[in-house]
Amino acid sequence: MDAGDSQVIRIDTIWLATAPMDMRAGTDTALARVVSVFGAAHPHTAYLFANRRANRLKVLVHDGIGIWLAARRLHQGKFFWPMGSASQQLSLNRVQFDALVLGLPWQRMGAAGIIGVV
């Protein structure tokens, strides 16, 4: 087993909700938001939400058995979040997700880390 196989939580699909969410939301409220925005919480799927200022985000993951809820906060700057987008939801690949949680401009990243937009 290599380091890439040691995942605690398997995530196959990543979805981002464009509308802001109150970061005081707990697991049940976040799960209700996932169901209202995405229709259901699918196994091995991560759902991302940010607050209005886009300096905090929450990730809800359904691991096939239960629900995980994690939070991340930037002390400086903000996450690159598509607020006011025409779509309520966007799909991200793993490279884009990794860039987003670091506060990087994930919209410019494509598969394999290729920058396609300047």
Q: Give Cβ neighbours of residue 97 (< 8 Å, ≥ 6 apart).
A: 14, 46, 48, 106
Which of residues 75 and 84 earns the better pLDDT score? Answer: 75
Encode pLDDT of 36-59 as tens digits.
999 999 999 999 999 999 999 999
53-77: average pLDDT: 94
Read off the pLDDT of residues 16-26 as tens digits, 9 standing for 90 and up.
999 999 999 99
pLDDT at 102: 87
- 75 pLDDT more than 60: yes
Q: Which residue has the higher pLDDT, 66 or 86?
A: 66
Name the pTM for this structure.
0.83
Mean pLDDT over each residue of the chain, to the nearest integer: 86
